[in-house]
Amino acid sequence: ALGLATPTALMVGTGMGAENGVLIRDGAAIQVLEGADVIVFDKTGTVTRGAPELTAIRPAPGFEESELLGLAGALEDRSEHPLGAAIVTAAKERLESLPAATAFEAVPGMGVVGNVGGRDVRVGSRRLLARDEIPTDDLVAEAALLEDEGQTVMFVAVDGEPAGLIAVADRVKADSREAIQVLHELGLETVMLTGDNARTAAAVGASVGIEDVRAGLLPGDKVEAIREIQESGRTVAMVGDGINDAPSLTRADVGIAIGTGTDIAIESADMIVVQGSLMGVVKAVRLSRATFRKIRQNLFWAYFYNTIAIPIAVLGLLHPILAEAAMAGSSITVVANANSLRRAPIDG
């Protein structure tokens, strides 16, 4: 019975997770998630849909909208970032063709650089242009207005000169706010980490009910933020979907990948939420807690039978047939109790 107590409950819990769109790659992750204190979320593709749309083009003097869109679209066509995909989609819809980009390089947490038609092009955050000593002062005021509206702004530079702004907006997933609210009701803290700017991140955080929002982070900064939370004595679960989230998923006590995300994020995680909905994270938390309730119950029953029967047997007062019956009964009780986990209300 003692040998069956834990594995039977974990087996049933893992099966239930698969039935409800939560794939558990490591049984130990159930235990870790059951004791989690903080759930950390990436923003793009996790809290938001990860399918942003182009919302604004603001060319600098000397540049045209179509020119700016074509250069940025050609460069982002080599990228895998969802924000870049929005630019590419709009460019292909509005322009006849895109020039080829060469010497492409993705700068983690900042943007992309490369050569388009013999011109040096850079698309990304203000920090990317600042790194390359390209002035952005003339674009900052316009960028702030767009960011206050919840849009993500990318700065574009051509041949070392500021060329303009391109803004995209990524809508929050329909059930993100509900999922965050339920996690709060379950006693969990929530944190959002993002490489996006502070204004846009704050707007998204407020819309879903996350108060602790940390913006402008590189992948290494996200890892450091998780380490900081862990060093305060709390257990951290990280939810993410992108390449930049892989180090954070690995660093967290338990990593939960969004199944609609990148293969690297999925490979780095202990659990996978297949449908991409944050309600899947709620299901995972409820399942982990229900599973460990059953494990504790199983251990109780296993000890209960043995605590009573062994002393009686030592005194010679327990007939062998009764001992065999008690042994079988304890095992049957544990297995039956584990299977009763299937009735646990992990959907709500």
List residues with catalytic annotation: 42
How many whole angstroms separate alpha carbon 285 and alpha carbon 188? 10
CA 191 from centroid of its chain's CA atoms: 11
How many whole angstroms separate alpha carbon 283 and alpha carbon 286? 5
How many whole angstroms separate alpha carbon 101 and alpha carbon 115? 6
Going by the DSSP 8-state scheme, the letter that residue 171 receives in this structure is P
Give the residue carrying structure tokens 């009780």. 333
Q: How many helices (H) and strands (E) does the chain have?
A: 13, 13
How many whole angstroms separate alpha carbon 14 and alpha carbon 29? 11
Q: Are 154 and 57 in contact (CB under 8 A)?
A: no
Enclosing H/E stretch for 243 = none
Residue 296 identity: R
Angle at 37 between CA 35 and CA 40, to 5 degrees: 120
CA 186 from centroid of its chain's CA atoms: 19
Please name the residues in contact with 208: beta carbons below 8 A apart, sequence gap of 6 or more: 47, 172, 176, 177, 180
Give the residue carrying structure tokens 């709390």. 234
User: Among candidates 235, 278, 234, which has minimal Cα distance to 256?
Assistant: 278
How many whole angstroms separate alpha carbon 255 and alpha carbon 248? 8
Radius of gyration of the chain, Cα coordinates, nearest whole angstrom: 26
Q: Are 87 and 199 in contact (CB under 8 A)?
A: no
Tokens, residue 305? 């039978």
